[in-house]
Structure 1
Amino acid sequence: MASIVVVLSAVTAAHLPAVADRLTRPDEPPAARRGMRRWASGAVGGLGAAALCRHLPATSVPAMLTTAAWLVLLQAGLLLTLTDLAVRRLPTPVIADAAAIIAALQMTAAVAAGQPWTLLAGLAGAALFGGGYLAVSVLTPTGVGMGDVRLAALIGGLTAATGWDTALAAATLPYLLALPFTISQ
């Protein structure tokens, strides 16, 4: 089962550069050369799915739904990365669609597991992450946009529903990864 998920994720991710091109340049014909971007995107999608399938064992229906939610976030994140690199913005429809799918998967997982408090944790995580990034956006309008705020709320909701240790890691990891860049400036 996991190998099928990895292959499907890699194939789907390999087609994301074409989708990103359509989002960023709708009036231009498709780029003739996107081979390297396709290979890189497919590799990241496949490796990410392999890591998720290994880390999140799908032994029950709620676990499978949670893994599916993480896979949706992986694919949406790849598409948002490609779009952000091209035009320096995060399109709201991509974030909204991913949020709707992830919310539906998480609600179904919570009902199937009989654990409605995971929904409350997800809402709290979305409010904390989104609220924190909204405060940063208001204080430094040139640094963080509303797309970043929406994406933070999406990530906060999924990570908190998975566990607060995951949410803490998701809250600190961007700053740890940005530290070498910040020091070099």
Structure 2
Amino acid sequence: MSAAALVPFALLGALIGLAVPPLARRFTTPAARSPAAPGLRPGARAWLSPVVAGTVFVGLAVALRDDPALPVFLAVAAVGLLLAGVDLACLRLPDPLVLAAALLALGGLSAAALLADDPWRLLGALAGAAVAGAAYVLLALLPGSRLGFGDVKLAAVLGLPLGWLGRDALLAGLLLPHLLHGGIVLGLLAARRVRRDTLLPLGPALLAGAWLAVLLG
């Protein structure tokens, strides 16, 4: 895909990035904002949001190219950016947003499979959601686990597009979030920005890991 063809994706991502901070504030209140994540507020670095969103959209466009499900991935990414903003602000993944991402993924992938006359890819997406959801349920039930069921639901939703791409993308999408999250936690601990008992959001790492899995796939 040429650089000129990527410009619309970058602009669309930037526009969505501009909308993320004010939309995220609608899902947070001063009482809901967590003191466990100091400085992580929707709009605290609003200038960064369009850059991140534009990068996400361009990356998906490059990775998926002519895949009929590209619009679905972009739609899920748009909701995912909003989820990340809310989770950073108050350590929660609102059910309405997770449900919106699920409906976009399931409905969009069903339509893409129909257009491509490839029902097996839709079955792969459903299997990916089942595997990701089951894996995160088990992780959440482990003694001492800090996984919330919002993280479990988001992981299952992300399993849909990852499963569409195949086994390798799904496995990468299951592993990469924990590598990212672990690296961030170690860095914050080394910098003495957090303590060992500080709760940190996993949602952004889940979303970033899924995005990287798509790029690597």
TM-score, normalised via structure 2 length? 0.73
**85, 98, 101: which one aligns with 1:98:** 101
Cα distance change on mapping 1:18 and 1:127 into 2, 3 Å: same
Structure possessing the higher relative contact order (Cα contacts under 8 Å, 6 or more residues apart): 2
Specify which structure has the higher proportion of helix: 1
Secondary structure of 2:15 counterpart: helix
Alignment of 1:5-20 (within 5 A): 5-20=9-24
Alignment of 1:81-160 (within 5 A): 81-140=84-143, 143-160=146-163
Cα distance change on mapping 1:36 and 1:11 into 2, 3 Å: farther
Cα distance change on mapping 1:117 and 1:17 into 2, 3 Å: same
Cα distance change on mapping 1:26 and 1:34 into 2, 3 Å: closer
Q: Distance in 1 between matches of 2:122 and 2:43?
A: 41
Q: Unmatched 5+ residue regions in structure 2?
A: 32-40, 190-195, 197-217
Q: Cα RMSD over matched residues?
A: 2.3
Alignment of 1:23-34 (within 5 A): 23-25=27-29
Per-residue deviation, residues 29-86 of structure 1 (Å, max 9, x unmatched): xxxx97663321111010111111111113xxxx24x111211222122111111111
Q: Distance in 1 between matches of 2:42 and 2:180?
A: 27
Cα distance change on mapping 1:172 and 1:9 into 2, 3 Å: same
Q: Distance in 2 between matches of 1:171 and 1:152?
A: 8
* Alignment check: 8 A CA contact 2:13 2:57 kept: yes
TM-score, normalised via structure 1 length? 0.85
Give every structure 1 segment of 4 or more consecutive aligned residues whose post-TM-superposition deviation is greater than 6 Å.
none
Per-residue deviation, residues 80-104 of structure 1 (Å, max 9, x unmatched): 1111111111001001011101111
Instruction: Count residues in correspondence.
Output: 175
Once the two structures are TM-superposed, the CA of residue 173 in structure 1 deviates from its matched residue by 0.4
1:30 alignment partner in structure 2: none
